Amino acid sequence: MAEITTRIVRVFEVPRRLLDDFLAMPEASQVGVYSLVGDGDDADMPSLYIGQTGNVGKRLAEHNEKKDFWSRALVIVSLTNSLTQTHVTFLEWQCIKEAKQVGRYQLENGNGGSKPHTPAPLEADCLEIYDTMRVLVATLGHPIFEAVAKPVGETNAKELFFCTAGGANARGEYTAEGFVVLKGSTGRLENVPSIAGKSDERFRQKLLDVGVMAAEGDKVVFTKDHLFRSPSMAAVALLGRTANGWETWKASDGRTLHQVMRQPAS
């Protein structure tokens, strides 16, 4: 459970196997917004479903019967039990819009929700609630509304790393979550024979299948900023071969990622 003491928003992270424990809590009967989160990996985004309801417990029980993909739910309610249907309808629409824009998760929603008629003071309240829930769900380890890379124009050139081996032309950022290959980066399409039929080949094909990379001639192009758990998997995606990303990714001055991040400054 997470909250900010000066705000009215409370967020529960509910592992699916502990759903019955949440259903027994008084908050389960409240009006609320919720997200169902499924696991992902380096090649595939985690799944996400965003919804709203007048009774979060009842709705989650229904999803437990009908939806297989999720492993945990994030439930957003009010400490004062003061959320209305207009609040949660607006918040559902806002959350879906922002999650799509950020692109960290594969949305399972069939539509984008609908923005209700919201007077300006009520909309301001909703946006304040959204800002609070955005911080809280990220604090719980689910950065649904946080970009994987800094916005264009905010990245310092010294923070960028480059991969130019094997004909690649790629840019990336090393972050607290892993390594982000930036949109527009290119690599080789063909795999080397040594990974044929192995996990690295399947990994690259999955990136193509889900649309993270697209084939253009003899190249692959990243269609979006994409987070990898390690620099090495980011390098494999670009080069079509086994690679040590700590040596392959280099800063603009030629130092490797290993030299920049792992070796103490002299």
* pLDDT category of residue 46 using cuts at 50, 70 and 90: confident
* pLDDT category of residue 135 using cuts at 50, 70 and 90: very high
Q: Which tens digit of pLDDT belongs to each residue from 208-250?
A: 998 999 999 999 999 999 999 899 999 999 999 999 999 999 9
The encoded tokens of residue 59 equal 């709705």
Average pLDDT, the chain: 91
For the stretch 163-167, contacts whose Cβ atoms lie closer than 8 Å and that sit 24 or more positions apart, written own/partner, are 163/187, 163/234, 163/235, 163/238, 163/239, 163/248, 163/249, 163/250, 164/250, 165/235, 165/239, 165/243, 165/248, 166/238, 166/239, 166/240, 166/241, 167/219
Annotated domain spans of the chain: 2-139, 157-261
Taking the C-alpha atoms of 75, 83, 95 and 73 in order, what is their torsion angle to the nearest 10 degrees? 10
